Amino acid sequence: MASNVIEVRGAVKHFGETHAVDGVNLTVQTGELFGLIGHNGAGKTTLFKMMLGLLPATRGEIRIDGQPVRGEAFRQVRRGIGYLPESLALYDNLSGLEIMLFFARLKAADPRSCLPLLEKVGLADAARRRVRGYSKGMRQRLGFAQALLGTPRLLFLDEPTNGLDPQGIREFYQILRELREQGVTAILTSHILAEIQLRVDRLALMRTGKIQALGTVHSLREELNLPLDFQLTLRPGAEEALRQALANQPAASVQFNGETVHVRCPREQKMTMLNALAALDSILLDLQIREPSLEDVFLGYSDATA
């Protein structure tokens, strides 16, 4: 049975009158790939910093690997944690390799692992170049390589794909997948919801310092009961025929968008809708069924609160 690597109980963080984190309870299991999403200022980064022991909690308890984050034993736990901050700042006067060696010394990691890690993130050729000349994407790759020093068992990745090109994003998640197979736990935030919806095991949606929803993408969809989206491409002039065909589907909503028509209906009416659309064989050129995306879920919870 997987054990909890992160345990957050009733965590509260106040900055004066601002309740940045407000009574968060959360557990993350070993080997889990966990997403933390929310609006800007929802409290994700503050919670990250609290879990890393960078910010003391106003109230509540946070344990990583069973150790309180502000305790003496947490130093040893930290050697097994990799962190990639949202606003990554590195030393411009040093080369990528020198930065890796510096952090390797701090983490008591094997300095011989620095070059292979730079190779892993695609920075082998730039290893000896000063970071001053690195692009944003290269800096982000270097930050990720730094987080992987010392074979971490737990990764905190705050907006890890910031500045990465599509190839870089794919390589990043490929590495993450490999690490997960080795039992590494990762907790990450991202504003690009499409990017993480297929990749995380579970996620938490934060809003005004609280966890508004917690679960798998599937379970959150179920909880909101968001409609399915049928995307249809019709022959020109077939709109009226479609309206007539759907006249006996009162729960369906139809939206014309140029050549594409979106028909939304409750999930439980999926087969009824498919049967109705099958009858339109002569006017239907294409049909796609789209499950509600994580973005739909995110916006659904936002609407529910509003």
Partner 1 sequence: MKTHIEFKQIGVIASKEFWDRIRNRWVLAVAVIFTVFALVIAYFGAAQQGAVGFRGMDVTIASLVSLVIYLVPLIALILGYDAIVGERERGSLELLLSMPITHFELLMGKFVGLAGALAFSTLAGFGLAGVLLSYQLGPAALYHYVGFMLSAILLGMAFLSIAVMVSVMASDRMRASGMAIGLWFFYVLVYDLLLLGILVLSQKRFNLSFFPVLLYLNPADIFRILNVFGFEEVRKLYGLATVLPATLASPWLLGSAMVMWIVAPLGIAVWRFK
Nearer to partner 1, 69 or 234 (CB): 69
Residue 72, class by beta-carbon neighbours within 10 Å (0-12 exposed, 13-18 middle, 19+ buried)?
exposed
Q: Which residues pair with 288 in a beta bridge?
A: 231
Q: Binding partner 1 by CB under 8 A: which of 15, 25, 66, 105? A: 105
Please state the closest distance from residue 280 (CB atom) to partner 1, in A.
57
From 41, 52, 51, select the one nearest 15 (Cα to Cα): 41
Nearer to partner 1, 121 or 217 (CB): 121
Binding-site string for partner 1 from residue 66 to residue 85, where x marks contact by CB under 8 A and - marks none: ----xxx--xx-xx-x-x-x
Please state the closest distance from residue 88 (CB atom) to partner 1, in A.
7
DSSP 95: B
Distance of CA 118 to the CA centre of its chain: 24
Q: Binding partner 1 by CB under 8 A: which of 87, 275, 282, 305? A: 87
Nearer to partner 1, 147 or 263 (CB): 147
Q: Binding partner 1 by CB under 8 A: which of 14, 30, 67, 102? A: 102
Nearer to partner 1, 48 or 230 (CB): 48
Q: Binding partner 1 by CB under 8 A: which of 10, 25, 54, 267? A: 54
Q: Is the four-CA dihedral 278, 280, 286, 288 of positive or negative sign?
A: negative
CA distances for 111 relative to 19, 102, 103, 168, angstroms: 41, 9, 9, 25
**Residue 134 interacting with partner 1 (CB under 8 A):** no
> Which of the stretches 45-53, 226-234, 239-247, 272-280 binds partner 1 when contact is defined by CB under 8 A?
45-53
**Residue 43 interacting with partner 1 (CB under 8 A):** no
The first and second tokens of residue 30, run together, are 């070993």
By CB under 8 A, what part of segment 152-191 binds partner 1?
156
Please state the closest distance from residue 150 (CB atom) to partner 1, in A.
9
**Residue 103 interacting with partner 1 (CB under 8 A):** yes
The first and second tokens of residue 45, run together, are 């980064």
**Residue 106 interacting with partner 1 (CB under 8 A):** yes
Nearer to partner 1, 14 or 107 (CB): 107
CA distance 37 to 206: 6
Hey, is 157 helix, strand or coil? strand
Instruction: Give Rg (Cα) of the chain.
Output: 24
By CB under 8 A, what part of segment 239-258 binds partner 1?
none
Residues with Cβ < 8 Å from 291, sequence gap 6 or more?
221, 228
**Residue 15 interacting with partner 1 (CB under 8 A):** no
From 223, 169, 228, select the one nearest 196 (Cα to Cα): 169
**Residue 93 interacting with partner 1 (CB under 8 A):** yes
**Residue 89 interacting with partner 1 (CB under 8 A):** yes
Q: Are 144 and 84 in contact (CB under 8 A)?
A: yes
The first and second tokens of residue 39, run together, are 């609006």
Which residues contact partner 1 by CB under 8 A? Answer: 49, 52-54, 70-72, 75-76, 78-79, 81, 83, 85, 87-91, 93, 102-103, 105-108, 146, 156
